[in-house]
């Protein structure tokens, strides 16, 4: 299994709609590690590590988000796997 790391910035109506909690649930369901957080510019940032296929599933999910979110844009950056996380958290 080829492990990778993905950095996502999600734009739109993504704060105040349970985006972080829903992202955490999805990442844990997919067996990924990393974090999700709100940023001051009203975007949501995700850094996740794990098998590439599961990371692709998480990225696809982030294009839709939970109910009540309106995702306008997802910036995606693939990075080398580092292995720095032990679980997936909201920070």
Per the CB < 8 A criterion, the answer to whether 51 and 27 are in contact is no
In the residue annotation, 38 being an active-site residue is answered as: yes
- Report residue 90's pLDDT band, with 50, 70 and 90 as the boundaries: very high
Question: What pLDDT score was predicted for residue 1?
Answer: 62
Q: Which of 5, 20, 37, 89 is catalytic?
A: 20
Per the CB < 8 A criterion, the answer to whether 23 and 62 are in contact is yes
pTM (predicted TM-score): 0.96
Closest by CA position to 44, among listed 29, 32, 57, 59: 59
pLDDT in tens, 7-64: 999 999 999 999 999 999 999 999 999 999 999 999 999 999 999 999 999 999 999 9
Domain 3-90, CATH 3.40.190.290 — does that match? Answer: no
In the residue annotation, 37 being an active-site residue is answered as: no
């Amino acid at each position: 299994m080829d492990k990778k790391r993905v950095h996502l910035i999600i734009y739109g109506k993504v704060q105040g709609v349970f985006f972080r909690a829903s992202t955490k649930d999805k990442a844990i369901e997919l067996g990924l590690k990393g974090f999700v957080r709100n940023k001051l510019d009203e975007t949501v940032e995700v850094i996740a590590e794990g098998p590439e296929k599961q990371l692709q599933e998480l990225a696809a999910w982030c294009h839709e988000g939970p109910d009540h979110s309106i995702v306008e844009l997802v910036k995606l950056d693939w990075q080398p796997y580092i292995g720095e996380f032990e679980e997936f958290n909201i920070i």
